[in-house]
Structure 1
Amino acid sequence: MISGTRLSSNAGRDPSGGVGRSYTLGLIGPALAAGGLGVGHRVIAARLEVPAATVRSWLRRARANAAALYRLGVQTVVAVDQDRFTSTPRPTMLGDALEALAAAIAASADRFSLPIQNLWASVNVLTRGRLLAPSP
């Protein structure tokens, strides 16, 4: 569930339906970026002081959506400013997807003279809050 720039994680939610932990995109985003570079979930969890199972869940969900996220980023860049797209390959599909989303945000910001105040909030808007949504 997305509320502002907070995501409620299924990890940490008790089976009786109690409220789960909530993490900001400012924490989830860097975790995904590290995962996109090939860093493992345990290392990321230790660095961010978040349960490893939570980080593993974020990475699994984002990786499951990586192809769709990549496609969204590329389509947005091509629609806004196709010269902006760089094709530097990343070690993972998630890394490629995040790179494409960042390029789309930068191209849109330049084209429409919008400041990028928070990259992860912009990613949230571009993906319509579906960065960690289950794949269809």
Structure 2
Amino acid sequence: MTHVLLPVSGLSRRADMAEVIGAGLQMKAAGVGHRRIADWLGRPYSTVRGWLRGFAARAASVAGVFTSHLVALAGDPSLVLPAPASSAFADAVAAVIASAMAVRDRFGVLAAPIWEVASAISRGLLLAPGWPPTSRR
């Protein structure tokens, strides 16, 4: 078996850096369509559509994982939980950003890019099939 170390600037099986993908996810959460996102980022439409579909399919689970991290890091969760957004997708993006900001604040790594922190929290699997794992009964 071969193991590959992935820097936090990347996501598993993705050619684009976490910050580029994260920018696309944030734009989608703000209501921008995949074609405009792709044009803005200089990426193929199909690539951006794949990011968005993959994230959307697991948005509720992703939001749960990142909200759990946020609550674990924050002293008073009522002060830091993001307000409900316009969609499950936007809620998940807000949870990712809030959790990453809590990590930065808690550990004093304020210069760490948000989406690199998110990549570290997800172990590079943010857009990977099967992540986050579903609970078994």
Q: TM-score range by the shorter chain?
A: 0.7 to 0.9
1:52 & 1:74 partners in 2: Cα distance? Answer: 30
1:92 & 1:118 partners in 2: Cα distance? Answer: 24
1:2 & 1:71 partners in 2: Cα distance? Answer: 26
Equivalent residue for 1:62?
55
- Number of equivalences: 124
RMSD over equivalenced CA pairs, Å: 2.1
Asked whether 1:106 is paired with 2:109, we answer: no
Equivalent residue for 1:17?
none
Equivalent residue for 1:94?
89
Runs of 4+ with deviation above 4 angstroms = none
1:48 & 1:69 partners in 2: Cα distance? Answer: 23
1:46 & 1:107 partners in 2: Cα distance? Answer: 31
Displacement of 1:104 in angstroms is 1.5
Equivalent residue for 1:50?
43
Per residue, is there more strand in 1 or in 2?
Answer: 1
Q: Which AA in structure 2 matches 1:78?
A: V
1:65 & 1:2 partners in 2: Cα distance? Answer: 25
Q: 1:77 to 1:26 in 2, by over 3 A?
A: closer
Decide whether the 8 Å contact of 1:80 with 1:108 is kept in 2: yes
Decide whether the 8 Å contact of 1:6 with 1:25 is kept in 2: yes
Q: Whose RCO is larger (CA < 8 A, sep 6+)? A: 2
Displacement of 1:112 in angstroms is 3.2
Stretch deviating more after TM superposition (78-87 or 58-67): 78-87
After TM superposition, the score normalised by the length of structure 2 is 0.78
After TM superposition, the score normalised by the length of structure 1 is 0.79
Displacement of 1:2 in angstroms is 7.9
SS in 1 for 2:16: strand
Identity across the alignment (%): 33
Structure 1 gap segments, 5+ residues each? 10-21
